[in-house]
Structures are given as C-alpha cells and as structure tokens.
Chains A and B, each alone.
Chain A
Amino acid sequence: MKSIQLQPDTAFINNLEATIENDGPFSAWELFRMTYQVELTTMSPSFNGLRSLEHLPHITFLDHQVKCAELVVETMNGRAILADEVGLGKTIEAGLVLKEYMIRGMVKKALLLVPASLVNQWVTELNEKFYIPAVAHRKNYSWEQCDIIVSSIDTAKRSPHREAILDIDYDFLLIDEAHKLKNHKTKNYAFVRSLNKKYCLLLTATPVQNKLIEIFNLVSILKPGHLGNYESFLEQYGKDRTQVKRDVYLKQLIQKVMIRNTRESTSLNNTSRKIETVWIDFTPEEMAVYDQISESVASFSTFSKITFLRELCSSREACYLSLKKTATEAEQATAIEDVLTEIEQLPHHVKAQKAVELIKNIGDEKVIIFTEYRASQHYLQWYLQQHGITSVPFRGGFKRGKKDWMRQLFKDRAQVLIATEAGGEGINLQFCNHLINYDLPWNPMRIEQRIGRIHRYGQNKDVHIYNFAIRQTIEEHIMNLLYEKINLFEQVIGQLDDILTDLNINDMESEIQGIYAESTSVGEAKIKLNNLSEMIKQTQGVSRSVE
C-alpha cells in the first residue's frame, strides 16, 4: 500500500560495521540470545488486548476499569472523557491507558494537568502503582527534559511555561477535574485547546450532562465537530439538557467519546451500605432551651433562628458561640443573654454521649465522624478523649501535607477521625468502614461525598453509616421528610444532581432554608418539605423510566 509510511533502520548496519572495524565490543552468545528472548517476550504481537495487565500483577483491577481502558484504546482510539462516579477509580483507568500506550511504545511524552492539591498524589500513584516514572513540575525542571510531567493548569498556563509547553508535541494529555473546563470562554479552555496532543483523556466526576453546551465544549477538545459546530449545536439543542435523554442519536454520539460507570453498574456493589438512623431524645433541659430559641419569634431573623436550632442539635458549643457573636451585634442582647445562661447550665450533649456509646460498641475498628460545625468538632475531640478514645481532626482547609499527615495518623494511631468537610477531594479512607453523620448537611450531594470517602474502589468490607437525628427537632423533619423519603443514603446521588437541575434547584440548602424562612409554623414547613421530596421522587421515577 502506497499510503503506508515506511521507516527503515538506517543506523544499525553502520554501527555493526564500525564495531567490527574496532574489533568489538561483541556480545557473548548467551547474552545476545537473551536479548532476543526479551524482545520476543515484551513485544506486542496483537493490535488488541491490554498488555499492561501482565505488567501490573500487584494490582487487582476491577472489571469496569479494565473494560474502560480497553474501550479507550481499542474503540475510542485514545481520546475519551472518563466520567465515572466518585470512588470508582478514574485514576486507575487513566493509569492503565497511559501504561498501555507506553508499553506499546506509542507514548513517550505525556502531560498531566491536575488540581494543584492533587499533583503529588498523582505522581505517587503513577510511580508506585503503575511504575510510570512521572515527576511533578518543579521550578528548575525543563518541560523539554522530563517525559512524564504532572502539573497544575495554573502553573502550566503562565509564562514562561506556557510557551515551552506549546512548543512540545505531546503524545498524551490528561486533564483531571475537567468539568472546570466546561466554559469555552475561559483562558484555561483556550490554553487546553491550543496544546499539541495525540491521545487525550478528560477526567470528571460530576456528570457533565447538566448543560448540553458544557458537554459540547468538552467534546470539542477531544473531537471537534463530533457534535457539530457551535452554531448548529445551539440551534438544534438549545440549552435544554433534557434533550440528551430525549434524543437517542445525541446520546449515542456522546457515548462514543464518554465512559461513565456508576456504582449501580459495577462490581463495587459487592460491598453494600448498611444504613442506620440513630434516633436520640434531648434531655428535658436541652429540649427546654431548644423550645426557648424556637419560640423567641421576635428576637432573631428566621434565618439565624434556624441556624441556632441546627447548631443546638449538634453541640452546646456551636450554638453558644454563634449566639454570643450575635449578642454583640444585635439589639436584643438581653434576650440572648438569657438563652446563653441556659446553655451554660446544660449537661453534656446527648449526641456526644451516643457517639461514645456507639464507638465503644463498634470495638477496635476505625470510625469517621462528620459534623457541620468546627465548635462541635473541638468539643467532640475533647469529649472522646475524656472517654479514652483517640481521635484526629480533619478539615477541608488543611494544607495538603497536613491532610496526608492526619490521614496517616488516623490510619496508624487513632481510632476516630472527626471531619468538618467532606470536600477535600481525593482523600481516600477505604481502610475505614464506619461513618457517623453526627449532623446532616442540608445539601444531599455532600452526603454522597462523605460516604464516597470510604465507600469507594478499594473498600472490601460493608460500609456502615449511622445517621444521628434528634427527635422533635428540625433534624427529625429533614430526616423523615427529605432523606428517608427519597432514599438518599442508599442510592447514588449522581442521579440526584440531574434531577435537581431538571427541577431548577441550584442549591438544596438554600431551598430548605427558604422553606423554613417563609413558613409561619412548623406544620407549614413540614408540608412544604414533604412537597419538595414528593417532587424529587416523581422526577426520579421519570428519569428512571427514560433510561
């Protein structure tokens, strides 16, 4: 075939002649033969299949990860959006793809652009799990010299790095958290578009279906024109995301460049979630204070009243601190002073006592406690210590190094990790399988993020989730009317994200706050909450039946 480009070897024979001229050095037969053997053993005799699996016998891959890598290499020709749900191992899939291309000699130069806080984690994973000699970009390294570089996009797009990078033809480009590129008008987007690349993976955990135009923008990095051009696309689909579900053709097109595994569809289902609601009763003293705040209609805005109530359900300290803060600003200082005095009298919080009881029942195993409030976190740490339970704190705001350190302490030294923020993308705590939701966030997505820290790839035990809720309080409403009704803990929230977008609800938290603020009585708020969850349930039913 004329259209095939041939590249013969021109160097060998000259070098052999020169070696003979110099009378050596020559290889002994045994070593010469072994080199041939090595070549026979390490070459790839077939176009298909993953050679990388033979090279990584120390990792147990899950079926969906292997299938994903195969699909990317064999069918998608090395350009794809990997959009698995959180915790299914997108990094593993990407590592497999990169490894495969390297083994087959198809990738030499690779650039991986990941969030700054994840650079080191990527480098470690690639080196330790995949034996891929990746390095983090450092000031003195040149982009030219290192073959596999991990960097943040913010570093990469700045001069002089930008110019150096644009000069290089990359065989492989990876963007982690690619949903941040969804807007085509940003500098980051333009920068990524301008990179010279052969194979390309975009990783994202958030379902990008939210807005069609965002999908369009991501696909245009991989395969411009695959979804048409900007104008024709807008004309045909507008900005209505529900089109994806209605338009089978569009869905197929998207599936050609995007892989999305869900927990439901993968073997991760093997470890299940045991969910338990732990009902707690306030002591009469605590209930009295709760009612006092609840009934002091005049004193505060509805918004802050709800906050105080939620805080009191978490700890005296949380509520005390924010009341105190309000007292210095507000006019009704005396009313607040009264409540403060009452709080000071309160015994230890019923929830804290329950937590200790539960942890002692769990025995030696590790436990994570999530709370919404810093004050509760401090209090709990102290209170657990009083009962001989070791714990370490964890906050989203910790620097990367401190996060790693706390994780290590938790793994090796402490029984309990008390965290205020699930956020901290990428912290993996699979060695733990008990989680206490000490208080419930009003944003259901945060629940999934919390659970995702432990119920993820690598977890081989069933995961126990304990949800604390205090009877006859605002927590009971949220628990009964919202969480339990729509089965939030059991099913994966990926769907919920879609549903909320369908319903035009951007922020669940403010939605619920709105309900309370605009209701004149507890009864009214309950009815409205109920309506909200009914609506969500209905939409759930609809989208299920469409898929």
Chain B
Amino acid sequence: MMEIANLSDFLEGYFSSHHCELLANHDGVMTVQLTEQMDRDLMNRPFYWHYVKSTGNSGQPMKLTLITNPNRRDEQGEWIHFGSPRLQQIINHLKQNEKYTKLFQRVHTNTNTPLYPWLVCNIKISYQGKQKKDELISIGLHLVNGTMHTDMMQRLQEIGLHMTISDYCYPISPMIKLKSGYLRIESVINNYIEHQSHEWAEASLETLEEEIKTLQYFYTADNNPEQMEKELNEIRQRYNPKITSEVMNGGIFYLTEGFI
C-alpha cells in the first residue's frame, strides 16, 4: 500500500526533499529550519521578504514546529493532522509543483546499457451521481513496444530513480509519440469505464426522473416557465451522472529492459 501511514515520516520526507534541515524530531514533534524558498511558499509573508530584499539584506527564514502526536497537541507548535490548514497547504504545494517529471532508473554498470522510455500517468477517475467517489489508477506505457501496466507506481517504488542518467546508460528515443501514447492510455481508461456496471448512475438517473415528475406536477397550476426551467436545470446538475478523469501527475520514465 502506498497511502500515507505515518504523517511524521511523510513530513520529514517532504521537508528534506526541499532541503530544509530537521532541527529536532522526537515523539511526534518536529522542528524544521525552512529555506528561503520554503518560507516564501509556506509562511505567507510576502511583505517581509519584499522589505528585507529592498534593504539589501538576506533575511531570516523561519523555523516551523509541527506536532503530529495528538497527545502533545497543547505544546508549543502547530498541531498538524489530516484536514488541518497546514497540511492542506503542504498538499496543495505538492499538487501544484509536482505534476511533471522526467526520471531515469539508477543503474550500476560499466557496460553500455539502453534505457527505454515509458509514459506514466497517475489518473484520478471520479464518479459523480447522487454522491461521488474516486479511484486512482497508475498507468505506464512502454513508448517503444506498447507494453502497458496499471500498477506503475507500485513497480517504480522498487527501483532507484534519479533526475540524471547513470554512467554508461543511454536513452532510447520513443517510437510512439507522447500524444498518441496518451491516446492509447485514454482509450484503455474509457474501455475500463465502459465495462463497469454503473448502478450508481442508474440510481441517480432514476431519482432525476422522479424529481422532474414531481416538479412538473408542482407547476401544473403555477404557471411560471422560467422558474421551472431554472429548477429543472438544478435537478439535472445535481443528478446527471458524470465521470471525470484527471491526470494528477505523470511524466517520462527511462527504465532498463529488465524492469518489466
């Protein structure tokens, strides 16, 4: 499973990936020294930075103390948990900035080794009728031979990945263009959606019909076509079943032949 199991570890990873030094971390209370960039991104004090820079100084980024252990939440620092504004901010920061990537498998070798390009898309499918639910699928497409996997992130987790290519390795150019690769992925998703049974959508359509009938009865005497049209629209918006897919993040991954 890849869900966040331990918030403290997650935050540690987040801050160290952003080059912030961990000053203390014990029993669910951590203090990090922010970098200037992270201070600008998280601490919401543009006037401070504007002022400091205009005076020619370098400025002092803040320290941040976060409490993940609820038993210690009354101590000095911010209690951070799912739903708290700080975690929401961090989540948004990740979603905004970590959308696109190009990565290479780490290989220790002294012979020439080709790396093959994969298009990886992490796609969230949302089903909305009376209620809504989401599903996340991680699809990878081999851009040379067309092989596809639907548990790509799980597989990628097992290997080392870097932003630069390892020594003696060289990338193979894609045979399938990015756009047409994406179209293949899209059609797989559509196929997947089509072959599900959609009871939720049927239930929603049923309610839609019922409410429209109810509404029409209401207006049999009260002749106000404009108001009725408005309310019909509201009912349709509320119940018309729809499925949206959105790529949460993705990119090109260069992987060894043996990766599969």
Question: Which residues of A does B touch, CB under 8 Å?
Answer: 1, 3-9, 12-13, 15-17, 19-20, 24-48, 52, 54-58, 73-74, 77-78, 104-106, 131, 169, 193-194, 196-199, 220, 223-226, 228-232
Contacts and interface: CB of A to CB of B under 8 A. Distances in A.
Contacts of A199: 238
Given A15-B99, A47-B200, A198-B238, A220 B218 contact: yes
A37 B178 contact: no
Contacts of B70: 57
Contacts of A36: 2, 122, 136, 138, 153, 248-249
Interface stretch (B39-47, B54-62, B229-237): B229-237
Interface stretch (B20-28, B30-38, B89-97, B108-116): B89-97
The size class of the interface chain B forms with chain A is 35 or more
Contacts of A193: 227
23 contacts: A3-B205, A3-B241, A4-B201, A12-B121, A13-B178, A20-B102, A27-B251, A34-B14, A35-B95, A37-B10, A39-B122, A40-B4, A43-B135, A48-B131, A52-B83, A57-B70, A58-B79, A73-B131, A77-B130, A198-B234, A198-B238, A229-B217, A229-B222
A198 to B, nearest CB: 5
B124 A20 contact: no
B171 interface: no
Contacts of A226: 214
A13 B219 CA distance: 47
Contacts of B132: 44, 47, 104-106
Interface in B118-144: 121-124, 126-136, 138
A300 to B, nearest CB: 55
A223 B248 contact: no
B214 A196 contact: no
Contacts of A52: 83
B172 interface: no
B252 interface: yes
B244 interface: yes
B219 A194 contact: no
B83 A57 contact: yes
Nearest to A23: B102
Contacts of B2: 33, 36-37, 40
A30 B239 CA distance: 40
B186 A8 contact: yes
Contacts of A4: 198, 201, 241-243
Contact of A12 (B82, B200, B250): B250
Contact of B251 (A26, A77, A78): A26
B3 A9 contact: no
Interface in B165-188: 178-179, 182, 186
Contact of A1 (B135, B201, B238, B246): B201
B32 to A, nearest CB: 16
Contacts of A35: 94-95, 98-99, 248-249
A38 B91 contact: yes
Contacts of A228: 217-218
The list of the 9 closest CB pairs from A to B, nearest first, reads: A55-B83, A225-B218, A225-B214, A12-B247, A43-B134, A5-B242, A29-B161, A27-B98, A47-B131
B13 interface: yes
A41 B3 contact: yes
B165 to A, nearest CB: 13
A98 to B, nearest CB: 14
Given A47-B133, A225-B215, A77 B231 contact: no
B145 interface: no
Contacts of A230: 221-222
B13 A196 contact: no
Nearest to B230: A196
A31 B94 contact: yes
Contacts of B84: 131
Nearest to B133: A47
A33 to B, nearest CB: 7
B163 interface: yes
Contacts of A223: 211, 214
A311 B231 CA distance: 55
B246 to A, nearest CB: 5
B96 to A, nearest CB: 10
Contacts of B133: 44-47
A7 B245 contact: yes
B147 to A, nearest CB: 19
Contacts of A20: 100, 102, 178, 252
A43 B124 CA distance: 9
A6 B242 contact: yes
A5 B236 CA distance: 12
Given A4-B198, A31-B94, A197-B234, A16 B218 contact: no
Contact of A9 (B17, B128, B219, B246): B246
Given A17-B179, A33-B157, A229-B222, A39 B248 contact: yes
A26 B131 contact: no
B251 A32 contact: yes
Given A5-B240, A37-B10, A230-B222, A16 B100 contact: yes
A277 to B, nearest CB: 42
Name, among A6, A35, A54, A131, the residue most crowded by chain B CB atoms within 10 Å (CB to CB): A35
Contacts of B230: 194, 196
